Structure 1
C-alpha cells in the first residue's frame, strides 16, 4: 500500500513542498522523510483517510523542524516561520496547479534534454537515481550528476516555478510532451516499467490540462503502441506489425486509445501526436486502410515536415502504389545514418526481386538495439542464402 501511495503521490507532495520552500532539494528530502515515517507508522496506526494530505503535512512539519535546526540567520528562521503559518494544503485544487508548475519546471527549454527526462522521472515519477540510471543504461554517478546540474541550473538561472504564459505555452508544452514520449520510447521494447511510467505521467498531464488536444493525442498514441507490447517480441525477436498475433494485443488499451483519438477529432485542432495516434488507430482496425494512412501522413508532413515522417509515409505508399514508387521516394531522402532507412530500402528491394544485402548490411551497421540487430541479422542471412541460390541457378 505504501509503495502505491509513493508512486501516486510523490510528485504531488514534492510539487507542493517546492512551492512552499522554494527549494527542490529540501522539498524532496522532506517528502522522503515523510514517507520514511509512513513506513514506520502506517502498519501500526493504519493508512490515513487522506494519504496525500498526511504525507504533505508531515513533510511540511519535517521541513519546519529542519529549517529551525539549521537556522543560523534570520532568513531560515523567517522561512520556517512562514511555513508554520501556511494554511493546510487541500487534497484537491491547488495541488493540481503545483504539479503542473513542477512539470514545466522539469521540462524548461534551458535544461539539456537528458536532464529534463531525469528530473521528470525523479521529481514526478518518484523513481530513484539508480532506477533512472539503469533504465537509460548509464552509471548511477553519471545520472546523479545530471540531476544535480539540472537542479543547480534551476537555482542559478532563477527558472520560474510556474506554468508559462498563454503566449509561451505551445512551445513549452511541446517540450513536456517530447520528454514523456522519449521516456515511453526508451521503455517500450524491454523496459516496461519506464513505458508504464510515461503513460502514468501522460494521464496526470491530461487531467491537469484537459483542454489541450495534443496532450490527449500523446496519451492515445502511447496507449495504442503499448497495446501491442505482448505481440511485439517473440523469443526475444522483434515481430513486425503485419506478422503480430492480434490476439495478444491488449483490447482495453486499444479501445481506450481509439476512443481518445475520436475525442481529439472532435476538437478539429490536429497536431503531430494526434495524427500519429490516428495512424496507430487505423492500424488497430484490421485490415489496415493504407490509403487513410497515407492521407494522415500527408497531414503530418504538412505540420511537421521531416525525412523520418516521409520515410514512414513511403512504407504506406508501397501498399497503395507499389514498392517501385515507394523506393523512389525513399531514395530521395537524406537519412543515411538512420538504420530504419536502410531496413525499409532492403524490404522494398526484396519485394522488387532485387538484391537487398547491401542495404541490410548498412542497417545492421547502424542499429543499436539487440532485438533489432537480431532481426536484421536474420534477414541478412536469408538474403545472402537467396542470392547464393540465384547464383547457383544461373550457373
Structure 2
C-alpha cells in the first residue's frame, strides 16, 4: 500500500469537468485579471468567512504583508508572532518594515497566553495569532489581550479554512474576529488553488479598501492610472479565483472528511502510549485538520528518523511541520529586527512532531494500515 502525505486531491476527478469548462471559458474570453470570477469568489469567500469583504491577492504571504501595511502601524513597531509556525508569518512582518517578536506555543502548539503577555512592550503594535494545523486559536484570549494593551490583530488563517471558535457566545469563523484575516490557497491547503493564491478578509471596509489599493499598484476605485499610494502587484487571477469558487462549494464536505479521518486516527492510535495525539478542540468546528500532527514521547523520543524510514519502507510518506522552530533559525537569530522572547516548548516539540497523512483521499482502510504499522514499530522497539 502506498499512502502519500499529500496525495492527489479527491476533488480533482470529481470537479474536473467543471474546472475544464471554466478554463476553456476564461481562455476564450481573455478575462485573465479581475472580472466576474474574481468578484464571485471574493463575495462567496467573504460570506463563508463571516466578514464584510474579501480581497484576493497573489499568495498567503502577500496577504499577511499587505494586511500589516494596511493597518498603518507605527514605523518599526513590534508584532508578536508564535515561534511555532511557517517562516512566512515572520517574513511578512519584516518585509512590511516592522519588528518580529517570537513567543512560545502551548502544549496544543498554538500561541501561549502567558508568553504573549510577557512579550508585550510599549513598542508592541499588533499580535499575529496563527491558527495552526487547522485548529483555531483561543481568540477570546487574544482579543482580550489586544484590547487590554490597545493592539491590532492580524489572524494568520493559512492552515485553517473553515475553522471556527467561540467568541462572545457566538461561533465565529477564523479571520472574522481580528482586524484582518489572511488566507493562503497554496495547492496543499484544505481550499487549494491550482497554483498560488491568497486572500484578505475583514469587517472594516476602510481596511479592505486600503488593502485592495496596495495589492493593485496603489490604484484607487479600480480607476486605471489613478495611483493614490505606492502599492505592489499582487492580484488573484481569474483562473485561480474561478477554480477556488468551484472548490469552495465543497469545502465543508472536505473538512468533514478530514475531521472523520482525524477521529479514526484517534480511535486507532489511542492505545499507543509513546505517541501524544493532537486534540480536536472544545468544539467540532475548532479544528479542520489541515495536518494531523502527533508528538513522539517516552522511548520514541529521538527515534523520529527511524520511524519515518520504517513507515516509508511500508509505503507511508510523512512530513514534519516544522523540523526547526523559527526562534532557532539562523535567519531569525541574525536579523536585527527579530527578538525571540520565548520558544522552549516550540524548540522541544520541533524534534518530536510528525505529520501523518490526512485528507479526503485517506480511507478508513488506509488509516487502519498506518495504525497497524505504528503498532508494529512499537513492537519492534519493545523487543
TM category, shorter: under 0.3
**TM-score, normalised relative to structure 2:** 0.22
More strand by percentage = 2
- Specify which structure has the bigger relative contact order, considering alpha-carbon pairs within 8 angstroms and separated by 6 or more residues: 2
More helix by percentage = 1
> If you compute each CA radius of gyration, which structure gives the higher value, 1 or 2?
1
**TM-score, normalised relative to structure 1:** 0.22
